[in-house]
Amino acid sequence: MGLPALLASALCTFVLPLLLFLAALKLWDLYCVSSRDRSCALPLPPGTMGFPFFGETLQMVLQRRKFLQMKRRRYGFIYKTHLFGRPTVRVMGADNVRRILLGEHRLVSVHWPASVRTILGAGCLSNLHDSSHKQRKKVIMQAFSREALQCYVPVIVEEVSSCLEQWLSCGERGLLVYPEGVKARNLIHARIEENIRAKIRRLQAAEPDGGCKDALQLLIEHSWERGERLDMQALKQSSTELLFGGHETTASAATSLITYLGLYPHVLQKVREEIKSKGLLCKSNQDNKLDMETLEQLKYIGCVIKETLRLHPPVPGGFRVALKTFELNGYQIPKGWNVIYSICDTHDVADIFTNKEEFNPDRFISPHPEDTSRFSFIPFGGGLRSCVGKEFAKILLKIFTVELARHCDWQLLNGPPTMKTSPTVYPVDNLPARFTHFQGDI
């Protein structure tokens, strides 16, 4: 082969693809720059947009916390990127997050990734807007009133105790296994539809409900009161959303509680001391059962839960879309761009927390708790879209902590776990642990 042929071959094999790649990068850069609002004089936030079409989604998925920490160190509390096919601004810090959370329906609107919308459905509470969201939330919130929570307490105690007995009988186990994707959703929908139809039959037959209405019953009765035809698909989507929000997030938080109480025996000791002070450590004492009043008195356990949620919030952030171009800390947020507010990063950078990486429940104890800044500690989000089930979650986690400390000792077989987010926070090794009956007294 002659020299010209070799040069032509090299050109086709190496140079031309390189030139095409560089051209694609340039066009991508121009596209990203052109998407800013030119009627606004403010600059875009700093940051990079990654590779053409793919943006920086792959880096974030593969590196997660390392990627986010690198971005935060390099660009600060507001930066631009390109995630899930959309130009995106990532926001953290109490003041910045406050503006986003209080700007719902005015500056921003909820806009979860397509995968989440597909799994949960467009008609669920998380994806509703304006009056539809307000009306649905008002109905569902009745299921989480203090009176409703009191009805749930005995059921939660029974379920938690049964689960712990299974763990104790198994000895060693991995604590978390998550179903995947649309196939799991379809299976869940089928089971939920069976329960919905059974619920409707009981309501139509006027069977007693025990004085405690769950969210599903409230939604069914709300439709009947308005003279509306029951929408089975909407009911299934709402039930799936509540199942995900009430199960996956609390499972994540409960796993983190097991982790920290296993790693910090002195904290577990203080938990047991508080339980003992309420007469709950003695398993034979049937006169002092758990109720809302007793649970509300468990202040130290409440601090343990807060500290766990500070370090490992189950949901790392929330997704919004800019309804119009607006200013945030000297930068423009263009209309149509996605906005992600970060819960985990906001906790990490909050100035009110001292020795941030230390697990220290005492930081939340009065008279000078470190959670006095409203938007520095946001494990349940905030504003109009704060978690509807947050009081339920707090009660469930308190009951879980009490029953765990009363009945179990345990050992983390792999030591401190590495955490992953997909979509909630969980240990990459599913936290294998060995459980034994708690025999001691304090």
Is 15 contained in some domain? no
Q: What is the largest CA-CA distance in the chain?
A: 97
Q: Residue 206: CB partners within 8 Å, gap ≥ 6?
A: none
pTM of the model: 0.86
Is 297 contained in some domain? yes
Closest to 403 (Cα-Cα) out of 321, 327, 290: 290
Q: Residue 140: CB partners within 8 Å, gap ≥ 6?
A: 125, 215, 218, 219, 238, 242, 388
Cis peptide before 369 (omega within 30 of 0): no
Q: Supply the pLDDT for residue 318.
A: 93
Is 207 contained in some domain? yes
Q: How many domains is the chain partitioned into structurally?
A: 1
- Domain assignment of residue 417, given as a range: 127-437
Is 421 contained in some domain? yes
Q: In 27-127, at which residue ranges do the beta strands (DSSP E only) sit?
A: 78-83, 86-91, 108-110
d(CA 379, CA 316): 8
Is 352 contained in some domain? yes
Is 122 contained in some domain? no
Written as tens digits, the pLDDT of the chain (442 aa) is 566 666 666 556 665 566 555 565 555 555 565 578 889 999 999 999 988 878 898 888 787 888 888 999 999 999 999 998 899 999 999 999 999 999 999 999 998 877 777 777 777 888 888 888 888 889 889 889 999 999 999 999 999 999 999 889 886 665 555 555 556 667 777 888 888 898 888 888 877 666 678 888 888 888 888 888 888 888 888 888 887 777 889 999 999 999 999 999 999 999 999 999 998 887 655 556 889 999 999 999 999 999 999 999 999 899 999 999 999 999 999 999 999 999 999 999 999 999 999 999 999 987 767 666 789 999 999 998 999 999 999 999 999 999 999 999 999 999 999 888 877 888 988 899 999 999 876 6
Is 119 contained in some domain? no
Is 161 contained in some domain? yes
Q: What is the CATH number of the domain that holds 387?
A: 1.10.630.10
In three-state secondary structure terms, 88 is: strand
d(CA 437, CA 439): 6
d(CA 55, CA 414): 35
Q: Supply the pLDDT for residue 125.
A: 84
Residue 229: which region, alpha, beta or left (left: phi > 0; alpha: psi -120 to 50)?
beta
DSSP letters, 254-316, are HHHHHHHHHH-HHHHHHHHHHHHHTT-S-TT--SS---HHHHHH-HHHHHHHHHHHHHS-SS-
Cβ density class 234-248: b for 16+ within 10 Å, e for less:
bbbbbbbbbebbbeb
80, β-bridge pairs: 47, 89
d(CA 17, CA 417): 43
